[in-house]
Amino acid sequence: MSNETKLNVLMVGTGEYTTGFVHNAASTSDKKVGVIALTMFDLRRRGKVDKVSIVGTNGKKFGMIREHLDKNIGQVYNMDTSLQHTCPADDTIDPDAYKTAIDQYMSPGDAITVFTPDPTHYSIALYAIERGLHVLLTKPAVKILDHHQHLIAEAEKRGVVVMVEHHKRFDPVYGDARAKIQNLGEFNYYYAYMSQRKQQLDTFRNWAGKESDISYYLNSHHIDFHCWALEGRAVPYRVMASGSKGVATSEPFNLTEATEDTISLLVNWKSTCNPGHEGVAVYTSSWVAPNKSEVHSQQRFHYLGASGEINVDQAHRGYTFTNDDNGYASVNPFFMNYAPDEEGHFGGQTGYGYVSIEKFVDACRAVNNKRLTPQQLDQRHMPTIRNTVLVTAILEAGRISLDEKRPVTIEPTTNNNGWKLV
């Protein structure tokens, strides 16, 4: 496989998750040097990726971004952080620059990563798929179920890989929990909670409450895990959502009045194996946790099956750190481990944040080299666009429930090849 064609990658979006650069400075979160660019540079060093390019909407940031990448990645890890192309030009602002970059720099079989505001995912992904490119979408894949199902159809028509970056699937704790769930009988109850510090309201102020909400952003993690764990065994059929407000809309954030602080989705599930068996799930997410919280993100769930239960506290793994500047912290290097290896290179290849991106790159190369088909990725329970459709169904149903103050039903379409919301 070492002689196989390397993958050319265009990173769409220049923000925190891609570069670690936010509001003209390094992020103050746990992603100070980002995830996507760092991983792609390292995969290039390891011979899996060839050309790495980036596109945003504001070319005037690129000078600062190049400097940030060189200082915080290149010099720290003795790593090549050069970019084959940047788009738009350094003196240009262009919301449609991704079209120019795809048309001018990319060819069928190349790949893009999409880490941009939620409402833009569909149009960017569709444009790339129509031109024969593989796509990695940040979560949520899209906001609307119809859009998700259209991407499924277009991806299958053109034989390209479209995956959603649900990195929880590659967390060894979550993977082990899923395996155990298969032997716990019928699903009964699931509760998941995920939060982030209030400082994220500043990071996301350009879109928070206007273009998307905290449920799309954070609940998507545990909803996908739950759908993955129950794949082929149960399906959701009813969603009722509630939200709280008041922090994000007040000083010092002053976000739009529509911005919820915390959102809970109450979801009813029914067994596809044993009629009469039903379960209930509660997915809660918040972005108004204390700024001095010992973790950037609280993450935990409780699963109850007919013959056993599982509790996972992903935020506290027995590794704590305290210093004079920042106080007490509970550390999670299992997502992204930024420590250099013994040769001074990046050494975090086993972090599940890294693994989720490498799995996408490996899948694209395998499809390009005829070793694998996109349908086989579906069968392997990877987070493909097809295997994640119920995540979007639940998330959109939750948004409708909040806006219209009613329960929303998820039903199979008449040909049983898709889903609809009622």
Could you read off the pLDDT of 346-366 as tens digits, one per residue? 999 999 999 999 999 999 999
Which residues 6+ apart lie within 8 Å of 413 measured at CB? 419, 420
Looking at the predicted structure, is the pLDDT value of residue 30 above 80?
no
pLDDT tens digits, residue range 96-141? 999 999 999 999 999 999 999 999 999 999 999 999 999 999 999 9
Closest CA to 12 of 132, 138, 129: 138
User: Which pLDDT score is estimated for 203?
Assistant: 79
Contact 169, 175 (CB under 8 A): yes
The string of pLDDT tens digits covering residues 55-105 is 999 999 999 999 999 999 999 999 999 999 999 999 999 999 999 999 999
pLDDT class of 28 with cuts at 50, 70, 90: low
Between strands 278-289 and 187-197, the pairing is parallel
Amino acid 121: pLDDT: 97
C-alpha distances in Å from residue 229, one per residue of 64, 149, 184, 198: 42, 21, 11, 31
Most confident of the ranges 121-125, 203-207, 332-336: 121-125
Q: Is the pLDDT of residue 25 over 80?
A: no
Region 256-263: mean pLDDT is: 92
- What is the rounded distance in angstroms from the CA atom of residue 78 to the CA atom of residue 342? 12
CA-wise closest residue to 261 among 339, 203, 200: 200
- Greatest Cα pair distance in the chain: 62
pLDDT above 80: residue 406: yes
What is the pLDDT at residue 331?
87
Pick the more confident residue, 33 or 393.
393
Residue 174: both structure tokens together: 């979550």
Give the separation between CA 78 and CA 205, rounded to whole angstroms: 34
Burial bucket for residue 217 (CB in 10 Å: 0-12, 13-18, 19+):
buried
Sign of CA dihedral 30, 206, 96, 114: positive
Question: Which band of pLDDT confidence, cut at 50, 70 and 90, is reported for residue 327?
Answer: confident
pLDDT band of 408, cuts 50, 70, 90: very high
Burial of 175-214, coded b for 16+ CB within 10 Å and e otherwise, reads eebbeebeebebbbebbbbbbbbbbbbebbbebbbeebbb
Residue 233 has pLDDT above 70, yes or no: yes
For residue 284, give Cα distances in angstroms to 91, 204, 243, 266, 350.
42, 19, 9, 9, 29
Section 265-270 average pLDDT: 98
pLDDT of residue 243: 97
**What is the arithmetic mean of pLDDT over 250-275?**
94
Residue 196 binned pLDDT confidence (cut-offs 50, 70, 90): very high
Q: What is the tally of helices (H) and strands (E) in the chain?
A: 14, 18
pLDDT grade, residue 299 (50/70/90)?
very high
| Residue 1: other Cβ atoms inside 10 A | 9
What is this structure's pTM?
Answer: 0.95
Confirm if 32 and 326 have CB atoms less than 8 A apart: no
With a cut of 60, say whether residue 49 has pLDDT above it. Answer: yes
Strand (E) or helix (H) holding 315:
none
DSSP character string of 101-136: HHHHH--TT-EEEE-S-GGGHHHHHHHHHTTT-EEE
**Residue among 6, 25, 10, 184 nearest 85 (CA):** 10
- Report whether pLDDT(222) > 60: yes
Which pLDDT band holds residue 319 (cuts at 50, 70, 90)?
Answer: very high
Give the model's confidence band at 415: pLDDT under 50 very low, under 70 low, under 90 confident, else very high: confident
How many Cβ atoms are within 10 Å of 369's Cβ, its own excluded? 13
Name the nearest CA neighbour of 124 among 107, 108, 138.
138
Q: Is the pLDDT of residue 2 over 60?
A: no
* Helical residues (DSSP H) of 244-386, grouped into ranges: 352-368, 374-379
Answer for the pair 118, 124: CB distance below 8 angstroms, yes or no.
no
Cis ω before 333 (30° cut-off from 0)? no
Alpha carbon distance 246, 317 (integer Å): 32
* Residue 420 CA to its chain's centroid (Å): 23
Predicted confidence at residue 229, as pLDDT, reads 98
